[in-house]
Amino acid sequence: MAEPLEEVSVVGLDAHGQGVAANGAIVPLALPGERALVKLEGKRAELIETLNAAPERAEPICRWFGRCGGCAAQHMSPPLYHKWKRGLVAEALEREGVSVDVGELVDAHGAGRRRATFHARFPHGQPDEVGFMRARSHDIIAIDDCPLFNPGMAGAIPAARALSGDLRGLMKPLDISITATLDGLDVDLRGSGPVARAETQKLSRTADALDLARVSNHGEVVIERRPPRVAFGEALVKLPPGAFLQATEEGEAWLAKFAERALANAKRVADLFCGAGAFALRLARRCEVFAADADDAAVAALARAAATTPGVHNVRAETRDLFRRPLRADELAAFDATLIDPPRAGALEQARAIAASALPLVVSISCNAASFARDARVLIDGGFQVESVTPLDQFRFSAHVELAAVFRRSKPKARARRLL
């Protein structure tokens, strides 16, 4: 017997962009102000029919929307979308008791996404599945294109399909990370484990046939036809396999300018969670920079670029796990300011060390509003004031949001300078 349908009124949006009904049910793809006919399954509801479309409803730009899990908000008008995404930051700060006016959402999509991770599965007796995760599922949806990619990603989907086909005999799920670089597509495969000579030869032939810059497996280079490079300002950096990179060039450039403005008067800066040097290599044109990150290959790439780029000097790069061994208060005394750009988990221990130090200025960049707000609370309790928080959108139509903020001490602490 079919389950009965129920009519609900949608009154809000949750953190994932899903409608929230007056009875508390979560209704994917519904918008505030709409009445919807749904099939209830506990607190989740399947949208059967929208009975009255909200004025803020927009036509999705992608035929996969609603099935592909990559986007959450193509059905929202720009004003509603901006309000929702800015609200994610404001609500996270409010939960931690951080009082600050959140700036308007900055559109940093630019030419589009320059990196993506595809997934491949090989179900027995069925066609291979290569694409993105389905919405609200671990199943794969085999997409043919993505309107959010920048032009450099044009061959990414064919590359993912071909390379996964080379490894299908292993019958292991794969994650295929592809990055558009100045020298072509850079691919890092994960999930297969070590590959034998036969698979290596297949991957190499595919790289030649598709003109890929590099193919790696679990970070080990299989074939490098051209060193895959990106530009951080005037510095050209050869990326290590699977290296972190801001999702869009526009987003990276905006964040770098934000940091440079905020740190304009600093002579010695610590760039913590520096990656391959997107900020350090720009800042080092006018000040001394100490750069630290746990990723040894990324730190080495930064150091090589600093040594070969005219005008970039006074950079010291160090491999250091800042989660387990954050810069201590006495070490931070060597600097006028610090820039922190941690992964999604945030930088709680480093924030505590900064709060205990006499450091007067912090520029914080984050890709997670919740961990950012938690760490901001630590800095504020340690004597900092938050001057500004700006949400940045380089993950268009998703629930992910980047943040950039400035923290400054209202009453500078006396400190004894100590050089690292």
- Mind telling me the catalytic residues? 367
Answer yes or no: are the C-beta atoms of 324 and 274 closer than 8 Å. Answer: no
Residues whose CB falls within 8 Å of the CB of residue 1, separated by 6 or more in sequence, listed in order:
none
CA–CA dist 242, 220 (Å, integer): 10
Largest CA distance in the chain: 76
Using a 10 angstrom Cβ sphere, with 0-12 exposed, 13-18 middle and 19 or more buried, the burial of residue 85 is buried
Choose among 60, 53, 55, 58: nearest CA to 35.
53
Contacts of 107 (CB under 8 A, 6+ apart): 393, 396
The closest of 291, 270, 253, 294 to 353, measured between CA atoms, is 270
Q: Measured between alpha carbons, how far is 281 from 313 in angstroms, rounded to an integer?
A: 9
Residue 129, number of CB atoms within 10 A of its CB: 17
- CA-to-CA dists, residue 367 to 89, 277, 286, 308, 378, angstroms: 11, 17, 27, 30, 18
CA distances to 179, 186, 216, 248 from 152, in Å = 9, 11, 19, 11
